[in-house]
Amino acid sequence: MAIKPSPRLAMFLLLSHGIASTVVYATVMPLPAKLVMLILVLLSLLYYLARDALLLFPGSWREISFDQGSVLVVTRDGSGFSGQIISSTAVSPYLAVLRVILQGRRFPVSRIIFPDALETGAFRELSVYLKFAQ
């Protein structure tokens, strides 16, 4: 399944980082601490927009394929890796949270996939596969 840039994920990231910025602004912290926190929130927004929503980084996931509980991921630069889907993967009609433990790593990686990031029937296929893979 080929993954495309996702406007819904971009809007979700903008909204969540906007809420975080508002909370930081509303706290009773010294001004330099607020500025540092706001800069960190902005850097986080830019990073995740570029990596996950716009797929600009070489390590951005461009294609995923499944085989008996395992997943093969191809990145933008053409490299690939495989891993196992873990039980904390979540699926809803609005999004899928794909959690994978990569081979040779200890901690899982997560990606949020919205329906607009896949072809028309591919999100349904992904949802069905992930529901039965758990």
**Rounded average pLDDT per 10-residue block, the chain, 134 residues:** 95 97 96 97 97 95 88 92 90 93 89 93 91 76
Is the same domain home to 68 and 126? yes
Residue 1 lies in a domain: no
State the DSSP H helix or E strand holding residue 99, giving kind and residue range, or none if neither: strand 96-102
Residue 2 lies in a domain: no
Is the same domain home to 41 and 67? no
Is the same domain home to 32 and 79? no
Is the same domain home to 79 and 95? yes
Q: For residue 70, what are the CA distances in angstroms to 56, 60, 103, 109?
A: 25, 19, 10, 14
Which CATH number goes with the domain that contains 71?
A: 2.30.29
Q: How many domains does the chain fold into? A: 2
Looking at residue 132, its pLDDT comes to 82
Sign of the dihedral through C-alpha 119, 123, 124, 125: positive
Looking at residue 35, its pLDDT comes to 97
Residue 88 lies in a domain: yes
Is the same domain home to 85 and 114? yes
> 125: which residues sit within 8 A by CB, 6+ positions away?
1
The 10 Å Cβ neighbour count of residue 73 is 21
Domain that holds residue 24: 7-53
Contact 66, 127 (CB under 8 A): no
Contact 124, 7 (CB under 8 A): no
Q: Cα angle at 123 between 120 and 129, to 5 degrees?
A: 140
The Cα 133–Cα 118 span in angstroms is 19
Looking at residue 68, its pLDDT comes to 79
Looking at residue 134, its pLDDT comes to 63
